[in-house]
Amino acid sequence: MTNRLQPELNQGQNAANATQTGVPVVDANELLGKRGVVAIMHGRDEYRLTRTRQNKLLLTKCQDNIGHGVSS
């Protein structure tokens, strides 16, 4: 993850920096699968991590937390 004040790093540099600091690294393609979406439970709140058409990641909080998880 980069911010506007630092130069953009390539994927290898980002992954190397994350592992050096002890932060777990997860490949987005493995996490999101073929559907491009995964449900994340945080306490009682459900969030969706989605890959957009522009190949960006979008995290949104779901309004209805009755159904937990993503159905296949």
Kindly list the structural domains of the chain, giving each domain's residue range(s) and its CATH number in brackets, ordered by start: 11-61 (2.10.70.10)
Asked whether 46 and 39 are in contact (CB, 8 A), the reply is yes
| Residue that is written with structure tokens 């506007």 in the block | 4
Nearest in space to 41 (alpha carbons), one of 61, 71, 20, 13: 61
Dihedral angle, C-alpha 29, 46, 21, 5, nearest 10 °: 90
Question: Which phi and psi (to 5°) does residue 47 adopt?
Answer: -120, 155
pTM above 0.75, yes or no: no
CA 28/CA 35 separation, integer angstroms: 12
Q: What is the pLDDT of residues 5-59, one digit of tens each?
A: 445 556 566 666 666 888 899 999 999 999 999 999 999 999 999 999 999 999 9
